Structure 1
Amino acid sequence: MTHYLNRTIKSGLFLAVAFAAITALLVLALRWIDPPSSAVILTWELSSDRKARQQWRSLENISPNLQMAVIAAEDQKFSRHHGFDFASLQKALAENRKRTRGASTITQQTAKNLFLWNGRSYLRKGLEAWFTLLMETLWSKRRILEVYLNIIEFGEGVYGAEAAAQAHFGTTARHLSASQAGLLAAVLPNPIQMSASRPSPYVRSRASAIHRQVQQLGGRRYLQAM
Structure 2
Amino acid sequence: MSELIGLQRRAPVETLDCGDDAAVWLSRFLLGEQSGIRLGYYREQFRRNIELQYPKYFRDYVNIRLESAGIYTDLTSYHLINEASIDDLNTILENPVVPNNFRPNILVEGQNLEAYSEENWNWIKIEEVVLRYVKPCTRCILTTVDPEAGNLSADREPLKSILRTNNLKQPAHIKCEGKKAVMGILIELWKSGEINVGDEVLVA
Q: TM-score, normalised by structure 2?
A: 0.26
Greater RCO, 1 or 2 (C-alpha within 8 Å, sep 6+): 1
Higher helix share: 1
Higher strand share: 2
Q: TM-score, normalised by structure 1?
A: 0.24
